[in-house]
Chain A
Amino acid sequence: MIRKGREIDADVRLTAEVCVIGSGAGGAVVAKELAEAGRDVVLLEQGGYFTKEDFTQREDEMMPLLYEDMGQRSTVDRSVIILQGRSVGGSTVHNLCYCFRTPPPILEKWRREDGLRDLSVEDLRPSFERVERMLKVKPIEPHEVNALNNKIRDGCERLGYHGFVTNHNREHCTQSGFCLLGCPFDAKQSMLVTYVPAADRAGARLYADCAVRRIVAAGGRVTRVEGHVADARGRPHHDLRVDAGLVVLSAGAINSPQILLRSGIANSSGQVGRNLHLHPSILLSGVYDEDIYGYRGIPQSYYVDEFIDLERDPDSGYILMPVYGFPVMTASQIPGFGREHFEVMRNFHRMVGILVLMHDQSSGSVTLATDGRPAIAYRVNQPEQRLFVEGMRHCAEILFASGARRVLVPYARPLWLSPGDSLDLIDQRGVKPLDIPIASTHPQSTCRMGEDPRRSVVNSYGQSHDLKNLFVCDMGMFPSSLGAPPQISTASLADRTAHYIAANWGRLAG
């Protein structure tokens, strides 16, 4: 049963064995697995319920539907824009489908530094396999690599940089290229078309447009969830209350700590909302003489890992990724305005984007703001500012090596480079907050796992150290930056948590 809050005209009072908050890569998996295990599950999602018929492939219509704050969520100083999902399926509805298992050196780091001894590759294998089967993960075929990604590959091969074509979770992809705006063909195997319908079939009750304000605990256990049912504009119009024997919080690494902080629970460590990592990224664009039409085809298929070696150093490095945007997104990235701005936009079909994505040790925090929205603080530290510069130089090299006639480094006062220009110009400008757009699609680590209750919020199963019937299951669990695209890791940890809860139900719910 899937209900839209905007169509509900009364207060909602529910009772369930399990209440799952959030329907993205964490929550949808938990809901499906526990419902199939026979548990009575209520799944709450603050965003709306939209399906392929709703996905009009128009930025002005899809950004409000699918993204928090229309894609304008940011740090308090506006230096980093954070793109997060806000609909049934969460960020998996608009992500670009890179599929990577958790890197073994990162699991080893978590074992060594955070005491997570039961999170080895072997421990996680059954969960990886279940998730990948469900999401139909497979290699991207050579003919599916679009012109934009081929440009990046060509540049890397000329320079001897290592990269490869990745796995993805698409089925019968038409290669329309609209992944960022919701797949209008259900080819993308997001939570919306995989785990959520499976949870529904298994009897889970899904309520969209239902925002959780707080989780109430009494006697050392969580007992209920309170919030509101929102109208079509997201304004509260009815009260929501779910009495539950167990709560799984999967609202994402920004909203989950918000809910815990508002509730005043699960924070004996003082770590809730801290240790925020963002995988911050900076985009460079090349302009070519030939037509690329980079917005067509699979947007991301190639992956450059030349500058990250987690075996050697699990604490630093960066990835280079091809990327593309639609007209509004692209126009917003281009500095300046008027005729000069349009002269760049005129070459929209000849542009290739590549971004530096940092495996960040820089960290920030999520706290409560007085206006009810999260206050997100984050600054790129100086060593990573220097790494960004190095990465931006490599991006420019790759673009020129594949034939770009100009490269835009989008500083507030834009830097245009031509072949043969010294890349020292990038070093001279550096990376300063607000001087160059920085974006994040992977906020993480704000409710981190660990075996030491003084340094972490949850254990390796996502179980709160303070409240045994409260679990956190989203990217906030990661003890450190993941250093890889997070979809499979998030879903697999959620799968593992769900199976743990199912196996220990009597003890946990008792």
Chain B
Amino acid sequence: MHLDPAIKRRTFFRFAGMSAGLAALSRLRLPAMATAEEPPPAGSRALRVLSEQDARIMVAIADRITFTGDPAMPRFRDTPGLVTIDTALLQLPPDVPQQLHVGLLLFEYGPPLFARRWSTFTALGAADQDAYLAGWEQSRYEFRQLAFRAVKNLALLGYYAQDATWPGIHYGGPWAPRPRRVVVGGADS
């Protein structure tokens, strides 16, 4: 899963540099920069590819992408969706998680740049997060559309791969249920 292969090398490094700069800025904890102080997401200790920071941002994004408004449906953060995403990343070429890491930083520290909000993504309210994500989805810049599509697809993979989401969409699941595959350090262990 390539995050944004259409980005030319120079563009990629420019934005990677920009996100690193934003991340560094955030660490200075400038007084007006709102940041989230949430505990690490459930299950993040079991992750093998995503860092704790990646996991925190990914969960925040996935919560909005998969928001249903239906109390009978689980929230993303209450499912093992993050582990599903992490396991998928484990089975993709190593440059994909690296690109994802940069992309997640851009999402997290992008509000001042892309939405003129002096805040991290995770510290925004739900409505503002939705507006911010819509800005990525409908951006005139191809790399932002592609980055949005990549995190959206990961979020949907993490969410709709869970049995708990299937009754709400009337999906019956496997015809002949079998034990889940155990992926220990690789695609097939």
Residues of A within 8 A of B (CB): 6, 48, 50, 53-54, 56-61, 63-65, 69-70, 72, 74, 76-78, 174, 176-178, 184-185, 231-234, 291, 293, 295-296, 326-328, 331-332, 336-339, 341-342, 345-346, 348-350, 371, 373, 412-413, 434
Query: Would you give the shortest CB distance from A336 to chain B, in whole angstroms?
Result: 8
Nearest B-chain residue to A73, judged by Cβ: B2
The answer to whether B175 touches A57 (Cβ under 8 A) is: yes
Cβ 8 A contact of A64, one of B64, B170, B187 = B187
Contacts of B64 in A (CB 8 A): 337-338
Nearest A-chain residue to B169, judged by Cβ: A348
Are A6 and B180 also in contact (CB < 8 A) when A70-B1, A295-B171, A349-B169 are? no
The answer to whether A412 touches B169 (Cβ under 8 A) is: no
The answer to whether B186 touches A6 (Cβ under 8 A) is: yes
The answer to whether A349 touches B180 (Cβ under 8 A) is: no
Contacts of A296 in B (CB 8 A): 172
The answer to whether A48 touches B188 (Cβ under 8 A) is: yes
Contacts of B175 in A (CB 8 A): 57, 174, 176-178, 184
Interface positions of B from 32 to 76, Cβ below 8 Å from A: 64-70, 73
Interface bits B141-160 vs A (CB < 8 Å: 1, else 0): 01001100100110011011
Nearest A-chain residue to B174, judged by Cβ: A57
Q: Which of A174, A327, A328 has most chain B Cβ within 10 Å?
A: A327
Distance between Cα atoms of A6 and B188 in the complex (Å): 9
The answer to whether A327 touches B165 (Cβ under 8 A) is: yes
The answer to whether A232 touches B185 (Cβ under 8 A) is: yes
Cβ 8 A contact of B189, one of A178, A232, A234, A337 = A232
Query: Would you give the shortest CB distance from B165 to chain A, in whole angstroms?
Result: 7
Q: Which of A177, A296, A348 has most chain B Cβ within 10 Å?
A: A348
Contacts of A56 in B (CB 8 A): 174, 178-181
The answer to whether A346 touches B187 (Cβ under 8 A) is: no
The answer to whether A78 touches B170 (Cβ under 8 A) is: no
| B26 on the A face (CB < 8 A) | no
Q: Which of A56, A61, A63, A296 has most chain B Cβ within 10 Å?
A: A61
Contacts of B84 in A (CB 8 A): 60
Q: Chain B, interface size: which category?
A: 35 or more
Nearest B-chain residue to A346, judged by Cβ: B169
Distance between Cα atoms of A339 and B179 in the complex (Å): 32
Contacts of B188 in A (CB 8 A): 6, 48, 50, 54, 65, 232
Cβ 8 A contact of A327, one of B160, B176, B178 = B160
Nearest A-chain residue to B151, judged by Cβ: A337
Contacts of B160 in A (CB 8 A): 59, 327-328, 331, 345
The answer to whether B95 touches A78 (Cβ under 8 A) is: no
The answer to whether B180 touches A58 (Cβ under 8 A) is: yes
Distance between Cα atoms of A62 and B65 in the complex (Å): 23
| B93 on the A face (CB < 8 A) | yes
Are A338 and B67 also in contact (CB < 8 A) when A57-B175, A64-B88, A346-B169 are? yes
Cβ 8 A contact of B87, one of A6, A50, A60 = A60
The answer to whether B130 touches A65 (Cβ under 8 A) is: no
Are A57 and B65 also in contact (CB < 8 A) when A72-B2, A327-B165 are? no
Distance between Cα atoms of A174 and B170 in the complex (Å): 21
Supply 24 A–B pairs (Cβ within 8 Å), ascending by A: A6-B188, A53-B178, A54-B188, A61-B180, A64-B88, A64-B187, A65-B188, A76-B5, A231-B186, A233-B187, A291-B170, A293-B172, A327-B169, A327-B171, A331-B160, A332-B152, A332-B156, A336-B137, A338-B66, A338-B67, A342-B66, A345-B160, A348-B171, A434-B142
